Chains A and B, each alone.
Chain A
Amino acid sequence: MNLSKANGEDGHIEVRELVMEDPDFESETSHVAHALFHNPKTSSFDYESELYLGKTIGNKVVTSGVKAFSLPAGGSKTVDFSVNMPQLTIPDDSFHVYLEIKHLGTLLITFIGTEDVGVFVTPAVEVTDITWD
């Protein structure tokens, strides 16, 4: 999935790749996205990053939670973000994918996926045993 900047400043960190499954998912199922981060700076830094789905920036319908990691100067690293797809009250819906990166609590940049995630609910039924008269 390709990303574009939603807010913040370029140049602090790069996301060279965001790999995830088919962007259409069953509601309330868990899926993992793999992000490859790169530190373009000449010093190492600590980062906190969070991947979430939402309708607008900051609207965290579901989130992976904050993942902390460090990158040496010029280093790269893949971080996994596990997200539980949202519970819906309609048969299907779609959400933007946001990837937010902070340093010491200060927002560096927020990326948005160029493609939305589709979430759907498939019908299911449960039964009791049969009672005969």
Chain B
Amino acid sequence: MPQFEPGGVHGATITFSNPKSVGFDFEAILCMGEGWEEKASASFHLDAGQSKPMTFQVTMPSTEGTYPVYIKVNSGGVVIATFVGTEDIVIASTALVGLEITGINVSPTTLTAARHEYETSLGLGYWGDTFTISITFANPFNSDVWVKPDYAFGKLAGGEFGFLEGELQGFNAEELLYFRLLLQSSAIEGDYSHATSWQKPYDARGQNTLSNMAFVYDPDGVPRAGDERWIRIPAGGSITTVKDAHLSSDLQVKALQCTTCGEIITGSVEEHYESNHPGVEITCWSWGGLSGCYFTDGSGEAVTTVYVPAEGVAGLHDLCVVAWNAIYFVYDPGCGQTRVGGQIVTLNWRLEELVPVAAAVPDAINITG
């Protein structure tokens, strides 16, 4: 069964023959669907016994489904014959599956849990190590596709990876990325940064400089999909988007380090010294929320405060990239209206959503102390 995209234009060629001994004028109409919707027509003359191929340019229906094809032939204003095509036409979008994430790169791959300062007009801010992530999408379809991807570090669960009924399976995201919301207005000011799991590769290299993310316009030039930026993957092509990103600034926790042996003390300092340094007298104190331990002989501090990676931070982490949102346009004349610059504009292109796609890179980064 021939299968076409909704709204696509295709030629249907049919050879008509006049079996009679007299020439006649004919009008042939190609119809589709149970309702015999007229899609194209042609007028022609056939001499006695003559055959002639005729091509009808048919704009396919905008709604997916199976459509029978009918040919209605008139002569002298009277229907003289109707024919039904031996094959129905299937109208289906082929852009439903197949969008691919073909490349994911992180540089560098070895990072630390360190916290770095940066200055803002509102004071000091903090973020983690810098890295660059690049994601490449491939679009095998014959129409452009827009995606709004997310990425996260985490752990592959070991089972089936991918989407099942719209839910991502097989990956557990960890909160290892840095999120910053800098508010600087007359009403509220602040640098709200915190750890986050999923992040969008927005604003590659800052303020959209060099970013290949852009607003979405349909083929008629009408802005669509709101005021967010998407990555446009050209039909049959691929595109790479790059983001300079940061790890979270909250990957470390405070810990006490023994000044005698250098070991990180996770339990009681007194017990550590009794077990590991017998004969060394220490005194621990606590007052007003502060605490410390010093050598009783007055020779200095028994422990010092250091920052170490929080539990689960140090080590290898997998990387997952998903395109939860992926859209393309289907020709559907008059399918809706929108307001552009105060004017009501008729929409001729319907937005369709693709099934989400995901890809993962095992052991994408190693976070050291």
Contact = CB atoms under 8 A, between A and B. Distances in A.
Contact of A124 (B14, B18, B71): B18
Interface stretch (A29-37, A70-78, A88-96): A88-96
Interface in B81-125: 81, 83, 85-87, 89
B22 A125 contact: no
A87 interface: yes
B21 A123 contact: no
A132 B12 contact: yes
Interface string B144-161: 000000000000000000
B25 to A, nearest CB: 8
Size bin of chain A's contact surface: 20 to 34
A21 interface: no
B211 interface: no
Contacts of A18: none
Contacts, number: 78
Contacts of B2: 132
A121 B46 contact: no
Nearest to B78: A123
Given A89-B48, A130-B85, A125 B18 contact: yes
Contacts of A131: 12-14
Interface string A22-34: 0000011000000
Interface in B210-230: none
Interface string A111-133: 00000000001111111111111
A125 B17 contact: yes
Size bin of chain B's contact surface: 20 to 34
Contacts of A130: 12-14, 69, 71, 85, 87
B277 interface: no
Given A89-B22, A122-B80, A127 B14 contact: yes
Nearest to A126: B17
A87 B48 CA distance: 11
Contacts of B11: 132-133
Interface in B62-86: 69, 71, 73, 75-76, 80-81, 83, 85-86
B16 interface: yes
A129 B80 contact: no
A133 B48 CA distance: 29
B24 interface: yes
A23 to B, nearest CB: 20
Task: Give the dominant DSSP class at A's interface.
Answer: loop
B343 interface: no
B24 A127 contact: no
Nearest to B55: A133
B21 A121 contact: yes
Contact of B83 (A88, A124, A127): A127
Centre residue among B4, B22, B80, B86 by max chain A CB count within 10 A? B22
A125 B13 CA distance: 15
Contact of B15 (A28, A122, A123, A128): A128
A96 to B, nearest CB: 21
A123 B28 CA distance: 13
Contact of A123 (B24, B71, B83): B24
Contacts of B19: 124-126
A131 B26 CA distance: 20
Given A127-B71, A128-B15, A129-B86, A121 B10 contact: no
Contacts of B15: 127-128
B16 A90 contact: no
A127 B84 CA distance: 10
A91 B87 CA distance: 35
Interface of A: 27-28, 87-91, 121-133
27 contacts: A27-B20, A28-B21, A88-B21, A88-B22, A89-B21, A89-B48, A121-B20, A122-B80, A123-B20, A123-B22, A123-B80, A124-B20, A124-B80, A124-B81, A125-B16, A125-B17, A125-B18, A125-B26, A125-B46, A125-B80, A128-B15, A129-B85, A130-B14, A132-B4, A132-B10, A132-B13, A132-B89
List the 5 closest pairs (A to B, CB-CB), nearest first: A123-B75, A123-B24, A128-B15, A126-B17, A121-B22
Given A129-B14, A130-B13, 7 more contacts: A121-B20, A121-B21, A123-B24, A127-B14, A128-B14, A132-B4, A132-B12
